[in-house]
Amino acid sequence: MTKGVKICLAAASVIFVSALAAMLWLRLPSDSTWVEITQDGKVLYTIDLASYDDEQTQTIRIDSPDGGYNIIEIGEGNTIRISEADCPDKTCVKTGALSDGVPIVCLPHRLIIKFTDEPENGG
Amino acid sequence: MKTRRLTELSLLTAAALIIFIVELRLPDLSAVPGVKLGLANIFTVYAVYSYRAREAAMLLVTRIALGAIFSSNFSALIYSLSGGLLCIAGMLLLKKVIPVNYLWLCSIFGAIFHNTGQMAAAVLLTRSAAVLVHYPTLIVSGCIAGAFTGLCAQYVLKRLIPVIKTDDEKTKEKKL
């Protein structure tokens, strides 16, 4: 084993371990109830999930500038998820409900749903 | 380029493409986009170590372009292209430091470079850093998948090198 290989092996181990740590840290459940919906980097909605009726389901339709759409569903137990999309991969739908630091992302429509801090002026 | 070399590369591209398409049909391993084995990269890593830089890059770009056409998933093209190009550039550089016996290590770095390129493209396209939360997950899965594909390529290479050598010797003898 040459010196170069040793350095590379050490670098790979460090990257792997730190990525693993970051991954687990992001999986910690979020205690915020505020959610931010952004598209193309612009904030479309900032909503408080706690202010929604627990038993009713409400949907928001978001049309992408490119012609596609996503339907966001705020449902039972104040969960938020993308229930429908016309993108080919449906990754955002498969992600399911937002529960932790990992946001729901729809790359084809550049749409992101994530937990955010409570706005200081009360929204 | 010699006809023989061209044929070999075409054959490798075709094989990589088949594996790529078969893998697409498998169910997703995770909800995080981009988490997959990347079996087609066995051929990429193999080509990096047994062909010239130009030839390995050609194989990869052809496979990505044809893969996008056959899977009709063009929105993924920009991610696989940015990831693939960074991956192959990084591996071609690391090839000078890492010998064939540690090919799997080079492949791990290839995966890290690939995910970095994909992430850079995603950040630029979404104009938001939010997609970066997938970065650690991609790196972890990429390291595992990279080690696996690298080991596959390493075993193939070890078994193929004697065959290729004897072939070359035979052609030399014929020429003599």
Both A92 and A57 in a single domain? Answer: yes
- 8 Å CB contact of A108 and B131: no
Q: B119 to chain A: nearest residue by CA? A: A107
Q: Is the pLDDT of residue B165 over 60?
A: no
Both A11 and A51 in a single domain? Answer: no
Q: Is the pLDDT of residue A29 over 80?
A: no
Both A38 and A90 in a single domain? Answer: yes
Find chain A residues with C-beta within 8 A of B126's C-beta: 40-41, 105, 107, 110, 112
Q: A16 to chain B: nearest residue by CA? A: B140
Q: Is the pLDDT of residue B163 over 80?
A: no
Which pair of tokens denotes residue B7?
Answer: 């044929």
Judge if pTM exceeds 0.80. no
Both A25 and A40 in a single domain? Answer: no
> What average pLDDT does range B79-90 have in this prediction?
94
> What average pLDDT does range A13-24 have in this prediction?
92
Residue-wise over B18-27: b if at least 16 C-beta within 10 A, else e? ebbeeeeeee
Assess if residue A122 is contained within a domain: no
- Please state, in angstroms and rounded to a whole number, the distance separating the CA atoms of residues A86 and A69: 6
Can you name the residues that pair with A36 across neighbouring β-strands?
Answer: A46, A114
- Please state, in angstroms and rounded to a whole number, the distance separating the CA atoms of residues B76 and B109: 22
Q: Where are the beta strands (DSSP E) in B34-174?
A: none
DSSP H helical ranges for A1-102: 3-26, 91-95
Alpha-carbon distances, residue B65 vs A26, A59, B73 (angstroms): 34, 38, 10
Both A9 and A43 in a single domain? Answer: no
Domains along the sequence of chain B with CATH: 3-25+34-171 (1.10.1760.20)
Per DSSP, the three-state class of B33 is coil
- Please state, in angstroms and rounded to a whole number, the distance separating the CA atoms of residues A41 and A111: 8
Residue A123 is predicted with a pLDDT of: 45
Main-chain phi, psi angles of B14, to 5 degrees: -60, -45
DSSP A68-80: -EEEEEEEGGGEE
Q: What is the pLDDT of residues A44-92, one digit of tens each?
A: 888 888 887 777 788 888 888 878 888 988 887 778 888 888 887 787 8
B58 Cβ contact list (under 8 Å, min separation 6): B9
Assess if residue A70 is contained within a domain: yes
Assess if residue A121 is contained within a domain: no
Neighbours of A54 (CB within 10 A): 9
Q: What is the mean pLDDT of chain B?
A: 87
Can you name the residues that pair with A34 across neighbouring β-strands?
Answer: A48
Residue A120 is predicted with a pLDDT of: 72
Which of A16, A40, A66, A111 best tests the B interface by mutation, with the highest count of B CBs <10 A? Answer: A16
- Please state, in angstroms and rounded to a whole number, the distance separating the CA atoms of residues A69 and A111: 10
Which pLDDT band holds residue B148 (cuts at 50, 70, 90)?
A: very high
Q: Is A7 exposed, middle or buried (0-12, 13-18, 19+ CB in 10 A)?
A: exposed
Residue B145: which of B101, B97, B109 has the closest Cα? B109
* pLDDT greater at residue B76 or residue B65: B65
